[in-house]
Amino acid sequence: MVPKYSSSRENYVKAIFHLQEIHGTVTTNDVASEMQTRPASVTDMLKKLKAQKLLLYEKYKGFKLNTEGRKVALQIIRKHRLWEFFLVEKLRFGWDEVHEIAEELEHISSKKLIDRLDEFLGFPKTDPHGDPIPDSQGRYTISRQVDLLNLPVNQIAEVSSIGDQSVEILELLNHKHIALGTRLEVKKKFAFDNSLELKIKNQSTVTISEHVAKNVFVKYDDE
Amino acid sequence: MVPKYSSSRENYVKAIFHLQEIHGTVTTNDVASEMQTRPASVTDMLKKLKAQKLLLYEKYKGFKLNTEGRKVALQIIRKHRLWEFFLVEKLRFGWDEVHEIAEELEHISSKKLIDRLDEFLGFPKTDPHGDPIPDSQGRYTISRQVDLLNLPVNQIAEVSSIGDQSVEILELLNHKHIALGTRLEVKKKFAFDNSLELKIKNQSTVTISEHVAKNVFVKYDDE
DNA sequence: AATAAAATTTAGACAAATCTAAAAAATAAA
DNA sequence: TTTATTTTTTAGATTTGTCTAAATTTTATT
Ligand SMILES: [Mn+2]
Ligand SMILES: [Mn+2]
Ligand SMILES: [Mn+2]
Ligand SMILES: [Mn+2]
């Protein structure tokens, strides 16, 4: 079972996929900073991905994944998120410590393994950070959600995903007892710095900054 | 979590460990044929492993792992066998299809992951092929066992491990309904070619060659 | 002991992935 | 529309792991 693409190539494909989801178009510098590497290294890799027919790329003219490239990206994302789910649900890891490990596990090549894992986990729809898990054909659905800055005051809602997934923000949220599935409501908005006071169900009241609020997404039933 | 050793180095350490368990001393050609590579490549790697202080090596004088090298080898073997157990027990893989996948999974670096997996699996003592799983300190026990050629006629015994672990022999054993834990007895030994006739509990009688018999190990209570 | 055969190592090359420094192209500012 | 700045690419190295072919050392055979 020889892997079709090296781990390095897979990491590039995944990074490009995420960047083009957000910005539509992707730049060499974006990829370099996202991947903690040098622009020259990115250019080198772009040529290889183009040669492998995963990427539409003309030098100096920008680039994006083609259909095959997106398909590859979605399979890696599927593996990443299923492993994260496994680590949290079965091995009792915290949601803030699984990303790094999944970064390695996502490169295990067996398709049968990942489909069996999916089944074993009960075909979960979202990972521990609330992100959708593509099915074995790469299909997934995104549920409508709103960040905390845009949640009406006194509207009870449920945390459904986190934008920034750095260890730093996850650590902060952990400390304040905010996790996926947590039910909460905004009690007060301070116009001065856009900080918020939250009432967390069955917990005390906490304050969060605008920066944090922007990265916490919730779902709620608006009637 | 940067891995200390590359997958390639880990594969070499593991191969050397297995060879020195069997033969006491290891040769360049042994490693080359075990790993499907060239003697020159082995020599190259020996120098690297020596520089990394995992190996005692003087050129032309043979080599073996030092204490640190053995420790590393046992951790890789631990991971390999725990993942094999997981694949068979939790994901319903056949015992003859897990080796290849574990060959990749054994290189995932997180120590916490493997200790949590061990716990999740209930601290199993042996893998699906009957081989002992080292604990987190690298300790393990080997139970006394005998191959089928040396099992007394009419002595009921339980299959406890398989010597050769090629897909070919596992396929053959599968076909004849011989698996780990199978209870059986030798009914007849043919001196001509050392073939055996076995009675498998709750099954029909089957014939196996000397080659197969040498690779099937069993445990039994001798009073 | 001399020679032949086998095992092992070295020399030199190559592919993959990365880097630094410099050049080229595109974009922004004056 | 020149000039300056930023972005991107190229040129040339380096590291890791592998290979073939040739040289060296060890071991086995006359
Ligand atoms: Mn990765
Ligand atoms: Mn995630
Ligand atoms: Mn391996
Ligand atoms: Mn095994």
pLDDT category at A223 given cuts 50, 70, 90 is: very low
In this structure, the answer to whether residues A135 and A88 fall within a common structural domain is: yes
What is the distance between the alpha carbons of residues A220 and A169, in angstroms, rounded to a whole number?
23
pLDDT at A106 exceeding the cut of 90: yes
Determine the average pLDDT of the residues in B66-91.
98
In this structure, the answer to whether residues B101 and B61 fall within a common structural domain is: no
Q: B107: Cβ–Cβ under 8 A, 6 or more apart, which residues?
A: B3, B7, B10, B76, B79
- Last residue of a domain, which of A141, A156, A183? A141
pLDDT at A167 exceeding the cut of 90: no
In this structure, the answer to whether residues B78 and B34 fall within a common structural domain is: no
Q: Does A117 sit within 8 Å of B92, measured CB to CB?
A: no
Q: Does B101 sit within 8 Å of A1, measured CB to CB?
A: yes
In this structure, the answer to whether residues A163 and A200 fall within a common structural domain is: yes
In this structure, the answer to whether residues B26 and B59 fall within a common structural domain is: yes
Domain assignment of residue B1, yes or no: no
Domain assignment of residue B163, yes or no: yes
Determine the average pLDDT of the residues in A146-174.
88
Domain assignment of residue A1, yes or no: no
pLDDT computed for residue B1 by the predictor: 62
In this structure, the answer to whether residues A57 and A94 fall within a common structural domain is: no
In this structure, the answer to whether residues B90 and B41 fall within a common structural domain is: no
Q: How far is the CA of B40 from the C1' of D23 (A)?
A: 13
How far CA A200 is from CA of A84, A161, A175, in Å, comes to: 25, 16, 13
Determine the average pLDDT of the residues in B22-46.
96
pLDDT at A222 exceeding the cut of 60: no
Domain assignment of residue B2, yes or no: no
Domain around A22: 7-65
Does A2 lie at the interface with B, CB-CB under 8 angstroms? no
Q: How many CB pairs under 8 A join A and B?
A: 41
pLDDT computed for residue A76 by the predictor: 98
Name the closest residue on chain B to residue A118, using Cα atoms.
Answer: B91
In this structure, the answer to whether residues B165 and B193 fall within a common structural domain is: yes
Q: What is the pTM of this model?
A: 0.81
pLDDT computed for residue A124 by the predictor: 96
- Last residue of a domain, which of B141, B172, B198? B141
pLDDT at B220 exceeding the cut of 90: no
Domain assignment of residue B148, yes or no: yes
Residue whose entry in the numeric block shows the structure tokens 């997958």: B7
pLDDT computed for residue B82 by the predictor: 98
pLDDT computed for residue B4 by the predictor: 87
The domain that contains B97 carries what CATH number?
Answer: 1.10.10.10
In this structure, the answer to whether residues A57 and A124 fall within a common structural domain is: no
Domain assignment of residue B180, yes or no: yes
Q: A199: Cβ–Cβ under 8 A, 6 or more apart, which residues?
A: A184, A185, A187, A205
pLDDT at A154 exceeding the cut of 90: no
In this structure, the answer to whether residues A156 and A199 fall within a common structural domain is: yes
The domain that contains B215 carries what CATH number?
Answer: 2.30.30.90
Q: Does A1 sit within 8 Å of B116, measured CB to CB?
A: no
pLDDT at A1 exceeding the cut of 70: no
- Last residue of a domain, which of A65, A82, A109? A65
Determine the average pLDDT of the residues in A25-43.
97
pLDDT computed for residue B160 by the predictor: 87
Number of domains in chain B: 3
Please, what is the average pLDDT of chain A?
Answer: 93
pLDDT category at B222 given cuts 50, 70, 90 is: low
In this structure, the answer to whether residues A94 and A150 fall within a common structural domain is: no
Residue A78 or B3, more confident: A78
pLDDT at B223 exceeding the cut of 50: no
